[in-house]
Chain A
Amino acid sequence: ETGVTQTPRHLVMGMTNKKSLKCEQHLGHNAMYWYKQSAKKPLELMFVYSLEERVENNSVPSRFSPECPNSSHLFLHLHTLQPEDSALYLCASSQDGGGGMASSYNEQFFGPGTRLTVL
């Protein structure tokens, strides 16, 4: 595997289910991100992890719970979601200066996304 991978690619869940999205990066990066892409809206940053520490939580509801066990893996645990949470969830990684601070060249590489449908 190369780049950034995400599983599953598609997920349908009921509002009472608990599921998890997985992201893995094979680029040796030290920062990982979750984004949400809803129809007709720009990508929204949800969470940022740098050096396995969460450095940003962009006012995301608690029904979304991220986990970063190491620099290569990022999870998004989902529980009691709402239909409006249906979206494409994208993971990205980058090499940054640590602590979530931007460096002069911290290009983000994206995975293929998980298409989530909440019934």
Chain B
Amino acid sequence: KQEVTQIPAALSVPEGENLVLNCSFTDSAIYNLQWFRQDPGKGLTSLLLIQSSQREQTSGRLNASLDKSSGRSTLYIAASQPGDSATYLCAVYETSGSRLTFGEGTQLTVNP
């Protein structure tokens, strides 16, 4: 059974810092990996989707990498801003069916 782990569970940084969020998964037989953002009490906003054949994706200040063989992904946020404060979720698409397995998330607080 696929398990997704995110470290750290919570992170507090001053504005302007570059930071890295980590995601690991136990079964490397995945189709894609997706990073989401969730604001308190709200739904999920997709940030980046990395297909299994790719190694990284970039969108603005965000860069996500994928190393399938080691079962790891990182989300790099450059020049963090208070508006980046949210919970960041990592999820993997498994090869069988449309199952999407989520980690518990990293709660990020960027202090002004």
Contact = CB atoms under 8 A, between A and B. Distances in A.
Answer whether A and B are interacting partners.
yes
Interface of A: 4, 6, 31, 33, 40-43, 45, 48, 50, 55-56, 88, 90, 92, 94, 96, 100-113, 115
A113 B42 contact: yes
A55 B97 CA distance: 9
B51 A105 contact: yes
Given A42-B103, A113-B43, A102 B95 contact: yes
Contacts of A104: 31-32, 51-52
Given A33-B100, A45-B100, A102-B95, 17 more contacts: A43-B102, A48-B97, A48-B98, A50-B98, A56-B97, A56-B98, A90-B43, A92-B44, A100-B98, A102-B96, A105-B51, A107-B32, A108-B46, A108-B100, A110-B36, A112-B43, A113-B42
How many chain B residues sit at the interface, stated as a range, is: 20 to 34
Contacts of B32: 104-107
Contacts of A103: 31
Contact of B94 (A92, A94, A102, A113): A102
Closest 10 A/B residue pairs (Cβ)? A110-B44, A112-B43, A43-B102, A42-B102, A113-B43, A110-B43, A100-B97, A42-B104, A102-B31, A107-B49
A41 B4 CA distance: 12
Nearest to A113: B43
A29 B12 CA distance: 38
B97 A42 contact: no
B64 interface: no
B99 A90 contact: no
B65 to A, nearest CB: 18
B93 interface: yes
Contacts of A4: 43
Contacts of B36: 110
B97 A106 contact: no
B41 interface: yes
- Interface centre among A6, A42, A108, by most B CB within 10 Å? A42
Interface string B17-52: 000000000000001101010000111111001011
Given A100-B98, A101-B98, A106 B93 contact: yes
